[in-house]
């Protein structure tokens, strides 16, 4: 099975925008289609609370004609047009879809951050983890989120093996970002967030990239688009992951980043696994 996950930083803009960045994003989407994934997970879709409109749906049908899709948007009391997730999956797969609430601090459960597909023998779930924010103003809420999310994955894992993807907003090891020495108090690399991610792995999950590639350095999944030289200098962070239940670790065949050229922000991540 081939699966791809991507924090797209606005599917809304990609499907309806006319800017050079929107054009680049559509180009990446076309490339992802050509890679022929069974499942494509998208985070930070920024779609309306009512979901994809007719223009969005027409664009998706044009880009991914062989796929069905399901979505989850941010809704009140959370901000509209914020966060959000979507799965595209090949027609005929027919998974059971759930939009779980995990008891996270409000309004996180209303921000459309988790979406799950249940197949006969396994789960595929994606997450857009809340950022701790400027000045770490949401670090406490983020720590509570991590506990709730870990409990959710553990409950799934009791029933069937889990494949969990998404933007986890955490660089776990120092080799997961270019400049660890300057970022120990930055959102995504605090001791608290790294500990939370470590506790998730310890709960029975494998970081598939490290499983395949070991302690390789200089491979990242996010480059700050506001810093013009970040992508060119490979000054990035690895904060996007495919995790699998430990009992699936030996069945993972490939876990890698997908190149996006000059387009900064997140890149898609690929998983191939025998199921």
> Catalytic positions, please?
128, 167
CA distances from 185 to 104, 134, 241 (A): 23, 11, 22
**Is residue 1 packed enough to be buried (19+ CB in 10 Å), middle (13-18) or exposed (0-12)?**
middle
Kindly list the strands in the beta sheet with 67-72, ordered across the sheet, starting from the edge strand earlier in the chain.
67-72, 85-90, 39-43, 2-7, 269-273, 252-257
CB 1 within 8 A of CB 38: yes
CB atoms within 10 A of CB 46: 19
Length of the chain: 275
Structure tokens at 2: 């081939």
CB 77 within 8 A of CB 93: no
């Amino acid at each position: 099975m081939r699966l791809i996950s991507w924090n797209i930083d606005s599917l809304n803009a990609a499907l309806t925008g006319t800017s050079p960045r929107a054009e680049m994003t559509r180009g990446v989407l076309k490339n992802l289609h050509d890679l022929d994934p069974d499942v494509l997970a998208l985070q930070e879709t920024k779609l309306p609370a009512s979901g994809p409109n007719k223009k969005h749906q027409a664009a998706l049908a044009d880009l991914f004609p062989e796929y069905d899709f399901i979505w989850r948007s941010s809704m009140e009391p959370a901000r509209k047009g914020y966060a959000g997730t979507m799965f595209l999956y090949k027609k005929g797969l027919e998974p059971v879809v759930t939009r779980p609430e995990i008891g996270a601090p409000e309004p996180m459960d209303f921000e459309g951050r988790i979406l799950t597909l249940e197949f006969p023998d396994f789960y595929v779930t994606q997450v857009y983890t809340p950022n701790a924010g400027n000045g770490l103003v949401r670090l406490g809420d983020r720590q509570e989120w991590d506990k709730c999310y870990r409990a959710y994955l553990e409950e799934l894992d009791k029933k069937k093996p889990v494949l969990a993807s998404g933007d986890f907003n955490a660089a776990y090891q120092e080799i997961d970002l270019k400049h660890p020495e300057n970022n120990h108090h930055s959102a995504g690399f605090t001791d608290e967030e790294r500990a939370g991610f470590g506790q998730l792995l310890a709960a029975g999950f494998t970081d598939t990239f490290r499983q395949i590639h070991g302690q390789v350095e200089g491979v990242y999944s996010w480059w700050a688009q506001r810093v013009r030289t970040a992508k060119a200098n490979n000054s990035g962070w690895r904060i996007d992951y495919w995790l699998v239940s430990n009992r699936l670790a030996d069945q993972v065949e490939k876990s890698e980043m997908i190149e996006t050229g000059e387009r900064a922000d997140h890149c898609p991540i690929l998983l191939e696994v025998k199921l």
